[in-house]
């Protein structure tokens, strides 16, 4: 599905979402009736300091002034690999964007990520993975880190990583692996109205506490994260 197809299916009554240099900004009213802020990255745009600060500014201007959920549409490259962006502190800009999304969610503006194309590395962490729930559309292809990059970081051979990826979703890119790890809450169908699926999600949105570790355990993709997180919480409470 193209972006226009997705927006038309999500918001059949129309929308006010504009695309400017790969950044999506605007509003729409889903079938639940409550106005929704819409932001995002489109056209496989790399997420650099310029895109991150525009998105952050738009979100901050809306927090406290408006109400309703926030939808983050994602079809990006990774973070922008340029000397200029790195010298300007790209890591801080991406962290700021992620924190703004988390702040919005904690301030009563539930955030939903919709991954409809590609995304990777810092761009995925600062957008879709910073929302309360991340939804995937068929054909989306996320990767927290591709295998060649992982090989450089871990010093493991590509052959070893490819073998691990067959049985361990943590080592494998792709939508199905992120679903198994709990990072992607669910995958929607292209054969059903996206507006109807969004309405169901909004009516049954999980509680604000991040449930990715529990989903990962239940789906067999991350068996230890939930137990470790629970143990850390117990120790922290005992120390109070």
Model confidence pLDDT, tens digit, residues 14-66:
899 999 999 999 999 988 778 899 999 999 999 999 999 999 999 999 998 88
What pLDDT was estimated at residue 209?
Answer: 67
The contacts of residue 39 (CB under 8 Å, 6+ apart) are 23, 24, 25, 26, 55, 58, 59, 70, 71, 72, 73
pLDDT tens sequence across 97-150: 999 999 999 999 999 999 999 998 899 999 999 999 999 999 999 987 778 888
pLDDT computed for residue 71 by the predictor: 97
The predicted pLDDT at position 208 comes to 56
pLDDT confidence tier of residue 72, bands split at 50, 70 and 90: very high
pTM of the model: 0.90
**CA-CA distance, 222 to 198, in Å (whole number)?**
27
Supply the pLDDT for residue 91.
96
CA distance linking residue 159 with residue 37, whole number of Å: 44
State the pLDDT at residue 24.
96
Q: What mean pLDDT comes out for the span 219-230?
A: 91
Q: What pLDDT was estimated at residue 164? A: 84
Q: Kindly report, residue by residue over 74-105, the tens digit of the pLDDT.
A: 999 999 989 999 999 999 999 999 999 999 99
The HSE-up count of residue 115 (CA atoms within 13 Å, CB side) is 34
User: Shortest CA distance to 19 belongs to which of 4, 5, 32, 34?
Assistant: 4
Strand partners, 207: none
The pLDDT of residue 173 is above 90: no
pLDDT at 149: 81
Considering the segment(s) 3-144+183-208 as one domain, its CATH architecture is Alpha-Beta Complex (3.90)
Region 141-166: what's the mean pLDDT? Answer: 86
Q: How many CB atoms lie within 10 A of CB 162?
A: 13
Tell me what pLDDT residue 62 has. 94
Round to whole Å and give the CA distance between 105 and 90: 23
Average pLDDT, the chain: 91
Lowest mean pLDDT among 36-45, 125-134, 164-173, 184-193: 164-173
Average pLDDT over residues 182-195: 93
Instruction: Tell me the pairing of strands 186-187 and 118-120.
Output: unpaired
Supply the angle between the helices 158-165 and 147-154 in degrees, to the nearest 10. Answer: 120
């Amino acid at each position: 599905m193209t972006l226009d197809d997705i927006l038309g299916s999500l918001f059949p009554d129309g929308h006010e979402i504009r695309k400017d240099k790969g950044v999506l900004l605007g509003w729409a009213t889903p079938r639940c009736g409550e106005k929704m802020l819409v932001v995002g990255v489109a056209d496989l745009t790399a997420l650099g300091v310029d895109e991150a600060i525009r998105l952050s500014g738009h979100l901050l201007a809306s927090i406290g002034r408006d109400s309703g959920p926030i939808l983050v549409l994602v079809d990006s490259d990774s973070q922008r690999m340029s000397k200029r962006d790195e010298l300007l502190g790209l890591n801080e800009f991406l962290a700021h964007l992620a924190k703004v999304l988390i702040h919005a969610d904690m301030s009563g503006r539930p955030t939903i990520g919709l991954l409809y194309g590609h995304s990777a590395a810092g761009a995925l962490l600062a957008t879709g993975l910073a929302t309360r729930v991340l939804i995937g559309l068929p054909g989306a292809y996320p990767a927290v880190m591709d295998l060649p990059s992982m090989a450089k970081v871990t010093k493991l051979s590509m052959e070893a990583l490819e073998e691990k990826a067959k049985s361990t979703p943590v080592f494998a890119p792709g939508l199905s692996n992120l679903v198994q790890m709990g990072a992607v809450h669910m995958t929607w169908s292209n054969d059903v109205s996206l507006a109807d699926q969004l309405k169901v999600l909004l009516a049954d949105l999980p509680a604000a506490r991040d449930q990715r570790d529990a989903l990962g355990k239940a789906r067999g993709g991350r068996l230890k994260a939930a137990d470790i997180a629970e143990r850390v919480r117990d120790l922290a409470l005992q120390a109070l």
